[in-house]
Amino acid sequence: MKKSLLLTSVVALGLSATAVKAEPQAEVLHWWTSGGEAAAVKVLMEEFGANGGTWTDMPVAGGGGDAAMTALRARVLAGNAPTAVQLKGPSIQEWYEEGALGNINDVATAEGWDELLPSAITYHLKCDGEYCAAPVNIHRIDWIWGNSKVLSDAGIEPPTNWDEFNAAADKLKEMGITPLAHGGQAWQDATVFEAVVTGLGGPEFYRKALVELDMETLKSDKMKEVFDQMRRIRGYVDDNFSGRDWNLATAMVINGEAAFQIMGDWAKGEFIAAGKVPGKDFTCTSPSGGAYLYNVDSFAFFNVEGDDKQAGQKLLAKLTMGQNFQKVFNLNKGSIPARLDVSMDEFEFCGRQSNADLNTAIDQGFLLPSYAHGMALRGAQAGAITDVVTAHFNSDMSSEEAVEALARAVANSL
């Protein structure tokens, strides 16, 4: 009788231990909702599940992520933060300073992240010197995408600087072809603006203006030239651009309704999802003269309770930086791996070009954090700049007035 009771107790204890073993759980908030993006995030969902985890997807539509950030703040204020959130740049440190972020440095140390990532990228992923976020990819922002057939029919070579772009756009406009597909949303205006700043001013001008916020640079004649170019670009878009989502602008280029789009390489994911071949059906060039404007999507890990959620964070961090995921995700997303040791053999023409340009920019010191996509500045300063840029783009404000407004807005935001 006693032996039977003892055996029953031992079995019960074993079942109890099994029951309390943490099973990785992850509720992931992100804004990857378009065709190419949705296919990319599905890769991580499937890999997470294959490794014993349970993924709860929390997509929030909106290409710039503003709606996702509103949803995130509501969740954090309610004391119910998601397990992991798509974040980037200074916003990671801002959430850390609010006491909201956890720490995954044990995973990063075990996996050797410092040796696998560009030092400029690790800067964005650490909080007080320890990893609090895991990088998903590196996006290049300053691309000019072109419809190969439209350009060929017009006798136009893909532009590699702003003079060439203007000449091509003028010719297309005379032919009755919309030169530039653009969505009239503030973040898209800012995307074009920073590409113009880089291409016309060069890397050091960009750094002084949009990273260091140097007042002399912001007020300079070169910045007036930037706004002159923005005014010219405004004349190359169609009348129905206001409020258009970025992927709909990409579709215009895919369908031959417009020749070019100035957008990050997530647009490439849309081309590929539509069955188009890079270097054949569409072109990819940059107007930035060797500089490389980057955006890094990352998962930041928020403070959560429960062994299952914390186990989910560690598993998600490990998988995110794994070679397989870095390759497969970015093949779908249109970006390139954050890890420098991932083979590019399976990547297409534009991906290989992006990776080659990245390494050249690293060597030359021309790797630049995108202000428009939350890598260079905190929210108040970036918002102040974008407000002026979009106000200028959508009005008859002169370049001189825009420069004055820009310097004033930045000064008031500091």
pLDDT recorded at residue 63? 59
pLDDT at 35 over 80: no
Looking from the CA of 329 toward its CB, the CA atoms found within 13 Å total: 29
pLDDT at 7 over 90: no
Q: For residues 101 and 92, is the Cβ–Cβ distance under 8 A?
A: yes
pTM: 0.86
Nearest to 108 by CA among 116, 100, 98: 116
Residue 275 — very low, low, confident or very high, per pLDDT cuts 50/70/90?
A: very high
Rounded distance, CA 196 to CA 185, Å?
Answer: 17
Question: Per the structure block, which two tokens stand in for 171?
Answer: 């010719």
How many H helices and E strands in the chain? 20, 14
pLDDT recorded at residue 64? 64
pLDDT in tens, 189-207: 999 999 999 999 999 999 9
pLDDT recorded at residue 333? 82
Backbone phi, psi, residue 152, to 5°? -65, -45
pLDDT recorded at residue 310? 95
Residue 126 — very low, low, confident or very high, per pLDDT cuts 50/70/90?
A: very high
Q: What percent of the chain has pLDDT over 70?
A: 94
Residue 53 — very low, low, confident or very high, per pLDDT cuts 50/70/90?
A: very high
pLDDT at 5 over 70: no
Rounded distance, CA 236 to CA 87, Å?
Answer: 33
Question: Per the structure block, which two tokens stand in for 84?
Answer: 């992991």
Q: For residues 266 and 36, is the Cβ–Cβ distance under 8 A?
A: yes
CATH number of 141-294+373-413: 3.40.190.10
pLDDT in tens, 131-180: 999 999 999 999 999 999 999 999 999 999 999 999 999 999 999 999 99
The ranges of the chain annotated as CATH 3.40.190.10 are 24-139+296-352, 141-294+373-413
Q: What percent of the chain has pLDDT over 90?
A: 84
CATH number of 24-139+296-352: 3.40.190.10
